């Protein structure tokens, strides 16, 4: 069946009358013919007696001839729009200056040598480097360009052996989550013959003697932990953990990773139940006793735990961060075999949520969020306060990274107006030394970042960051770009993004509201946006938009919004629930069909956040907000660009494929509805810098153009 009919619309009662033969008018004088015609082939599913139609089910098949023809037509249509956009050439040049710059990752230290990821200005991908001493020159160890001619091949540093002689690294193609794992000899610079096949690796660690690897790998059936002996075939790897533990099944949503304690004695496994985990179990194996069983640190408690082992052998101690009886988090000293109720409290729950903790140089570093602003406190291992790590500006501070026995730790600071700067911290003296700072043509002193608070629909007070040039007008005439997420217990703190920096440099405002669903104020903040309470996220978002409009930062005509993944779901809700508030929407890698999302790729893992339409109670609230099921024919929708691609192996691109023709046929506004579908990009990034520049240019061109003057319809 031929389902793509070029650029002429099929005269069908399935399409909205307002969309028939309607020419499309974008900003800056851009005109388009009607969107590519896509045949609606209705099917219906029965959910507890409710018949739910789906006209574009056939687009779920990514490989069919009809779907590929659909993608070709939609990409050609999007290209036709972008070719008319006059700002794009200059935007590409601007982004080249902001993105083709040197970047570094946080280093791993082994015996005075530093291992890290680094990308030089002008390079397309980062390489793995070693710095043999603090003042030595950087030496390239692994160059992705030597592995493949494909510029979208990237590498990631997985681990360095305890003695610093071997390095494990991952190789990724495009933006897929899956990688292969390889091992390099640091002395010779050569990669060994060992290669673990492509998969979703949750952890890769060297064995204490450096003769093998522990790795946890997931698929749709669940996660398994293996041991690989270097020099042997992966097919002979030994299964260490998985399938079940002490009679309890470990299923598809029971995800775990492993780590080796700094003294090399224990292999520690943390099992998270769902995404985000509602329950985390921790077990460990004594590696000095070959074949010994895994012992329990904590098991079967519906709370989250993360552990760090300090000290050597049996005399070592376990420190655990948990929300058990402490929704904002606390740090306990754990005793295996004894319930957490009687573990010793080292850092009690306070007024602000604990985001993470680390132990470096025998000191405890606890990172909290105080009204979503990073605050790092320092303690002795018995809980005595030793001060704080302070910064003068609003921004995000990473956790302190390093081993428990290392004198030096590393951390980064960044914000929307401050590129990431990496520091080395002397845990003995508190002195900070600069490790790396990119040179970017962006003068932070010309911009300001502030925080405001507003009330949501139910009266809850919500914080929001706003950035802009100093002295920028507040008369409702300026463009504003707002992004958000609101889910999965993830805190959204100010971070550097070249695309946001470009928007600010052009005189636009930028805003990030801290919606419920994250962990900005602890688990309660997250729970207020789970399951049937998901609408709170959308109400927070609309209240943020109304605040910005009421306070003259912008107006609906100049209002752009962007979000991806769970944030793409947020964009879908904004399109379908409040199309009047926004002029342009960039909806990236989105979840949109909330009745079927759990059937594809990693979707089953997210049922602990959203619920599933296979449950009668959950079906009805999912249907109420599912963007794909709430598009109404004849509605004046804003300009929309859906952005996804074949390499997204996390959120199935079918969501954007199905939503595009549905929205195109329903909208009566005459504004563009576009699908930007990449053959290489995906959820995990990893594409070449030039490809990233082109993608960012396409997105920003659309958002900037569609928030200026919109041509009147003929």
> Which residue is it, tokens 């997250």?
526
Does some domain include residue 291? no
Angle at 477 between CA 473 and CA 483, to 5 degrees: 90
Residue 581 lies in a domain: yes
| Mean pLDDT over each residue of the chain, to the nearest integer | 94
**Virtual CA dihedral for 22, 708, 485, 645, nearest 10 degrees?**
50
Same domain? 29 vs 166: no
Report whether pLDDT(15) > 50: no
Q: pLDDT at position 329, please?
A: 97
448-468: per-residue pLDDT in tens?
Answer: 999 999 999 999 999 999 999
Catalytic residue among 228, 558, 655, 683: 683
Neighbours of 23 (CB within 10 A): 11
Question: How high is the pLDDT of residue 17?
Answer: 37
Are 546 and 449 contained in the same domain? yes
Pair 126, 73 in one domain:
no
pLDDT tens for each residue of 583-614? 999 999 999 999 999 999 899 999 999 999 99
Half-sphere exposure of 44 (CA within 13 A, CB side): 7
The answer to whether 104 and 118 have CB atoms below 8 angstroms apart is yes
Domain-embedded: residue 423 = no
Q: Residue 9 pLDDT > 70, yes or no?
A: no
Q: Are 213 and 203 in contact (CB under 8 A)?
A: no
561 and 470 both lie in a single domain: yes
Of the listed ranges 156-170, 269-283, 319-333, 673-687, the least confidently predicted one is: 673-687
**544 and 681, same domain (yes or no):** yes
pLDDT for 610-667, tens place per residue? 999 999 999 999 999 999 999 999 999 999 999 999 988 889 999 999 999 999 999 9
Do 92 and 232 belong together in one domain?
A: no
Cα distances from 454 to residues 230, 545, 636, in angstroms, run 57, 10, 28
Distance of alpha carbon 181 from the chain centroid: 22
Query: CA-to-CA distance for 75 and 77, rounded, in angstroms?
Result: 5
pLDDT band at 709 (very low <50, low <70, confident <90, very high): low
User: Is 683 a residue whose pLDDT tops 70?
Assistant: no
Mean pLDDT, residues 312-333 = 92
Residue 177: per-residue pLDDT: 85
Q: Is residue 210 included in any domain, yes or no? A: no
Q: What is the distance in angstroms between the CA of the first residue and the CA of the last residue of the chain? A: 35
Give percent of the chain with pLDDT exceeding 70: 95
pLDDT at 684: 55
Active site residue 228: no
Residue 680 lies in a domain: yes
Q: Is the pTM of this model over 0.75?
A: yes
CATH at 698: 3.40.50.1820
How far is Cα 244 from Cα 207, in angstroms, rounded to an integer? 23
Give the model confidence (pLDDT) of 576-588 as tens digits: 999 999 999 999 9
Do 91 and 177 lie in one domain? The reply is: no
Half-sphere exposure of 610 (CA within 13 A, CB side): 27
Q: Which residue has the higher pLDDT, 21 or 256?
A: 256
Q: Which of 565, 626, 667, 669 is catalytic?
A: 565
Identify the weakest region by mean pLDDT among 464-473, 610-619, 701-710: 701-710
- Quote the CA–CA distance of 714 and 341 in Å, as a whole number: 71
Residue 349 lies in a domain: no
> Does 23 qualify as catalytic in the annotation?
no
80 and 167 housed in the same domain: no
Q: Mean pLDDT over residues 147-159, rounded?
A: 93
Buried b (16+ CB within 10 A) or exposed e, 74-85: bbebbebbbeeb
Number of structural domains, the chain?
2
Q: Are residues 183 and 77 in the same domain?
A: no
Which pLDDT value is given to residue 12? 33
Residue 337: C-alpha distances to residues 199, 249, 296, 347 (Å): 35, 21, 7, 21
Q: What would the two tokens of residue 415 be?
A: 């914000």
Task: Give the rounded distance of the alpha carbon of 478 from its chain centre.
Answer: 29
The C-alpha atoms of residue 261 and residue 561 are separated, in whole angstroms, by 44
Whether residues 80 and 227 fall in one domain: no
Predicted local distance difference test score (pLDDT) of residue 681: 60
Domain boundary among 182, 209, 241: 241
**Whether residue 541 is found in the same domain as residue 498:** yes
Same domain, 91 and 134: no
In a domain, 665, yes or no: yes
Which residue, 208, 241, 274, sits at the end of a domain?
Answer: 241
Is residue 538 in a domain?
yes
Residue-number span of the structural domain to which 171 is assigned: 121-200+218-241
DSSP 518-568: BSTT-HHHHHTTSGGGTHHHHHHHHHHHHHHHHTTS--GGGEEEEEETHHH
């Amino acid at each position: 069946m031929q389902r793509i009919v070029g650029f002429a619309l099929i005269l069908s009662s399935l399409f909205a009358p307002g969309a028939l033969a309607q020419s499309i008018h974008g900003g800056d004088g851009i005109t388009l013919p009607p969107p590519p015609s896509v045949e609606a082939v209705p099917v219906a599913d029965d959910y507890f007696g409710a018949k739910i139609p789906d006209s574009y089910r056939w687009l779920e098949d990514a490989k069919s001839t009809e779907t590929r023809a659909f993608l070709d037509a939609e990409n050609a249509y999007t290209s036709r729009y972008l070719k008319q956009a006059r700002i794009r050439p200059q935007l590409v040049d601007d982004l080249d200056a902001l993105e083709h710059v040197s970047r570094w990752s946080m280093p791993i230290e082994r015996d005075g040598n530093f291992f890290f990821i680094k990308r030089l200005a002008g390079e397309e991908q980062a390489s793995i480097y070693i710095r043999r001493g603090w003042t030595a020159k950087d030496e390239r160890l692994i160059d992705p360009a030597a592995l493949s001619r494909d510029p979208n091949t990237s590498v990631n540093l997985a681990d360095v052996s305890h003695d610093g002689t071997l390095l494990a690294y991952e190789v990724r193609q495009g933006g897929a989550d899956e990688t292969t794992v390889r091992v390099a000899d640091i002395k010779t610079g050569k990669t060994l013959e060992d290669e673990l096949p492509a998969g979703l690796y949750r952890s890769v660690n060297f064995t204490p003697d450096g003769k093998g690897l522990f790795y946890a790998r997931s698929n749709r059936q669940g996660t398994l932990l293996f041991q690989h002996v270097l020099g042997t075939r992966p097919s002979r790897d030994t299964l260490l953990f998985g399938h079940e533990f002490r009679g309890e099944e470990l299923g598809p949503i029971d995800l775990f990773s492993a780590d080796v304690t700094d003294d090399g004695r224990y292999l520690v496994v943390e099992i998270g139940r769902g995404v985000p985990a509602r329950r985390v179990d921790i077990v460990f194996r004594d590696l000095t006793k070959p074949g010994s069983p895994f012992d329990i640190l904590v098991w079967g408690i519906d709370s989250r735990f993360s552990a760090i082992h300090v000290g050597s052998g049996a005399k070592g101690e376990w420190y655990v961060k948990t929300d058990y009886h402490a929704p904002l988090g606390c740090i306990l000293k754990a005793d295996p075999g004894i319930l957490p109720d009687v573990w010793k409290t080292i850092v009690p729950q306070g007024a602000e949520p604990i985001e993470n903790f680390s132990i470096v140089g025998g000191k405890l570093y606890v990172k909290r969020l105080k009204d979503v602003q990073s605050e790092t406190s320092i303690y002795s291992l018995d809980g005595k306060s030793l001060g704080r790590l302070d910064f003068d500006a609003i921004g995000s501070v990473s956790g302190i990274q390093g081993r428990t026995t290392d004198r030096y730790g590393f951390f980064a600071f960044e914000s929307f107006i401050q590129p990431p700067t990496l520091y080395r911290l002397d845990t003995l003296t508190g002195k900070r030394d600069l490790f790396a700072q990119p040179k970017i043509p962006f003068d932070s002193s010309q911009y300001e970042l502030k925080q405001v608070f507003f009330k949501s629909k139910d009266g809850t007070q919500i914080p929001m960051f706003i950035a802009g040039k100093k002295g920028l007008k507040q008369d409702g005439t300026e463009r504003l770009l707002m992004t958000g997420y609101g889910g999965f217990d993830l805190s959204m703190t100010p971070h550097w993004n070249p695309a946001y920096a470009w928007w600010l440099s052009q005189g636009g405002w930028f805003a990030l509201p801290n919606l419920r669903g994250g962990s900005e104020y602890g688990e309660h903040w997250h729970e207020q946006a789970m399951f049937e309470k998901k609408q709170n996220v959308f109400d927070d978002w609309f209240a943020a938009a109304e605040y910005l409009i009421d306070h003259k930062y912008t107006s609906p005509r100049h209002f752009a919004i962007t979000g991806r993944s769970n944030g793409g779901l947020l964009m879908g809700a904004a399109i379908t629930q409040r199309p009047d508030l926004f002029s342009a929407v960039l909806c990236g890698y989105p979840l949109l069909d909330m009745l079927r999302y759990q059937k594809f790729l990693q979707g089953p893992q997210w049922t602990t956040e959203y619920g599933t339409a296979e449950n009668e109670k959950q079906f009805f609230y999912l249907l109420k907000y599912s963007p794909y099921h709430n598009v109404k024919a004849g509605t004046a929708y804003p300009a929309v660009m859906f952005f996804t691609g074949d390499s997204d192996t996390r959120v199935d691109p079918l969501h954007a494929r199905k939503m595009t023709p549905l929205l195109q046929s329903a909208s009566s506004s005459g504004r563009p509805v576009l699908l930007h579908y990449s053959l290489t990009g995906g959820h995990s990034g990893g594409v070449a810098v030039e490809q990233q520049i082109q993608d960012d240019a396409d997105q920003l061109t659309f958002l900037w153009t569609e928030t200026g003057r919109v041509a009147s319809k003929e």
